[in-house]
Amino acid sequence: MKRRIFTTFMVLVLVLVTSLSGSTKPVSATSFQTVGSQYETVPGELIVCVEKADTMQLQTAEKTSSSLVDLLTSDVFTVKDDLFESTGINQQYYTAEEKNLKNEAVENMGYTYLVEYPEEKLSFQAASEKVSAALKEAGYQAKSIEPNYILEAIGLSDTSEYSLENVQAQAVNPSQQWQYDMIKATSAWNITTGSSNVRMAVLDTGIDNTHPSLANFVNTGLGKNYAGGADTMDRQGHGTHVAGTIASYGSVSGVMQNATLIPVKVLGDDGKGTMYGIEQGILYAASISADVINMSLGGGGYSDSFAAACNTATSGGVIIVAATGNDSTPYISYPARYDNVIAVGAVDSGRRRASFSNYGPGLDVMAPGVSVYSTSPGGRYVTMSGTSMACPHVAGVVGLLRSYDKSLTYAQVDSLLKSTAQPAGSTTEYGAGIVDVYAALQQLSGTSPITQVTAPVFSLPAGTYKGEQKVSISCTTAGATIRYTINGQEPTETSPVYTEALTISATTTVKAKAFKTGMTASQTVTAVYTIESTNPDNPSATPWQAGKAYRIGDVVSYNGKTYVCRQSHTSLVGWEPSNVPALWLLKENFTAVSQVVIK
């Protein structure tokens, strides 16, 4: 069971960001959350969940809801929204004999409302106590009373951009090849490419439904806006990138090559949304029979109502996938941490956990999340990094499984993903491993797997480095022989056998392939290493970029100045050289410090 940790701040996990977090005991059903001034909330709003009394007759649910609205409406309080009404749950008939979504919602969440109070007259605590007392006097019990927290998009890591004209249309764009090779999507497409009958709800900033690689898949008629606007168009960019990884066509490909994408806009054009709005989005997706919910968002705190919304959707047959967070911390964020939610961390092209990817108890599986290439508003294509980018890979995998068997439950999908995942490291840092959709579909379909040697892995990612480097090559298939070339040629069974680390002293293209008798040879992996001079008197400066791995001695330019890297790290938005002197040194100070730092 995923552990519950309560904090009072939630931060949107869009891309590489750093956020506040902390923990105390989870809030009880009859206690109230305390609002600290350092945490941003919607002023004067409460999320009130009212317990269904044991003596309450199920057939009187409609009357009960109406009575509660009347009760919570006074000269002090105003009911701004009835959660079950605004999400379509109330349209489902509710009886004692039939287990349906409305039944589950009432049982899990209680009757839930967004209540407004005059903040100039009442504090959050005073308002909470007043609501609780009014409910108690009328014979009701508050299940939970919580502030309506604001979730905020802090920054984007957009490392490169391409117009439609610059990308050749093909099944898999070269920039996406490593992503889909890693999760075995290209092999899985021999079994299923997806289905328009599978509904993928993207809870995000919306989707650009005019994008040439998405337009045929996006169903705006089923779309919904819970971020305070009238449409589901993405003007921020994050939701369109996520959607393109789930399902797209033409110049790029999603994990699914056929699906119905449903834009559920829970984050506004400024990248901000509320906890209540996301809860609305979850229940709405469940009410329209979505197969999968993707939530590339999250934060650091437990919420009773949020957990109940997730449980309600899961009970209704929806499978929820969420990002673990980008704080480099040994605990994953909510909503990924909730029970019945698949928690996804990020790995890079070398199959290593991304430095920013949260890890720890509750982590389920990993997927590509560094420099992921996908769609962007306005017919563009960009690369972005974050657990937000890993999450839709797994959502797409679940979509493929549901396209093969619509009856799969959360428990069955969770088991399939974990039992077929590719081992990548400790369960603490990698969960069950890197998701393998081909193996999952084979296990589901009962077909015999094609035995292929696992692709080799380089110890050093491709890139630009200062001075001579050592590169090791490994393969997880026992007894496999690794053969390599350093002249750009395809390795064959007559190529040199790898026995010890390679010394790279000049720009070199290394290709490796693994062979084993009785098995299909592995895929070829390639890494290009550019070696630059280590002469500190005339280092070659390159523009600083977010999301890039830097090593000691690397030289970059930023805002007209030249900086030298003094500690190896992967750059993040907010870690610009001028902001982090612990990582970067002005060039004029390079000689003196290099004597201490550079070995």
Q: What is the pLDDT of residues 159-192, one digit of tens each?
A: 444 333 332 323 578 889 999 999 999 888 988 9
Residue 207: per-residue pLDDT: 98
Q: Is 427's pLDDT higher than 90? A: yes
Lowest mean pLDDT among 134-148, 373-387, 509-523, 551-565: 551-565
Q: Is 95's pLDDT higher than 70? A: no
- Residue range 220-237: average pLDDT? 94
- Residue tagged active-site, from 388, 495, 522, 571: 388
Residue 390: per-residue pLDDT: 95
* Range(s) within the chain of domains with CATH label 3.40.50.200: 161-445
| Contact predicate 172/253, CB 8 Å | yes
Lowest mean pLDDT among 38-42, 180-184, 541-545: 38-42
Query: Residue 302's pLDDT band (boundaries 50, 70, 90)?
Result: confident
- Residue tagged active-site, from 81, 82, 158, 204: 204
Q: Which of 391, 116, 150 is nearest to 270 (CA)?
A: 150
Residue-wise pLDDT for 55-66, tens only, equals 444 445 555 666
Average pLDDT, the chain: 82
Place of tokens 């044991």: 54
Residues 6+ apart with CB under 8 A from 135: 50, 71, 141, 142
Q: Is 150's pLDDT higher than 90? A: no
**Is 54 marked active-site?**
no
The two three-digit tokens of residue 414, written as one number: 């969770």
Q: Where is pLDDT greater, at 90 or 112?
A: 112
- Residue tagged active-site, from 81, 234, 238, 349: 238
Lowest mean pLDDT among 28-32, 203-207, 431-435: 28-32
* Range(s) within the chain of domains with CATH label 2.60.40: 457-532
- Residue range 153-160: average pLDDT? 43
Lowest mean pLDDT among 82-86, 220-224, 593-597: 593-597
User: In what helix (H) or strand (E) does residue 186 lie, and over which residues does it extend?
Assistant: helix 185-188
Count Cα neighbours of 548 within 13 Å in the Cβ-side half-sphere: 19
Query: Residue 480's pLDDT band (boundaries 50, 70, 90)?
Result: confident
* Range(s) within the chain of domains with CATH label 3.30.70: 41-152
Report percent pLDDT > 70 for the chain.
Answer: 82
Residue 39: per-residue pLDDT: 59
**Is 238 marked active-site?**
yes
Lowest mean pLDDT among 17-26, 256-265, 489-498: 17-26
Q: Is 425's pLDDT higher than 60? A: yes
Domain 161-445 falls under CATH 3.10.310.70 = no
Angstrom distance (rounded) from CA 400 to CA 440 = 10
Q: Where is pLDDT greater, at 346 or 94?
A: 346
Report percent pLDDT > 90 for the chain.
Answer: 47
When the candidates are 2.60.220, 3.30.70, 1.20.1330, 2.60.40, the CATH number that belongs to 457-532 is 2.60.40
- Residue range 480-485: average pLDDT? 93
Residue 65: per-residue pLDDT: 66
DSSP code for 212: T
**Is 495 marked active-site?**
no
Angstrom distance (rounded) from CA 366 to CA 459 = 19
Q: 542-597 — its CATH code?
A: 2.10.10.20
Domain 41-152 falls under CATH 2.30.30 = no
- Residue range 586-592: average pLDDT? 56
Q: Is 110's pLDDT higher than 90? A: no
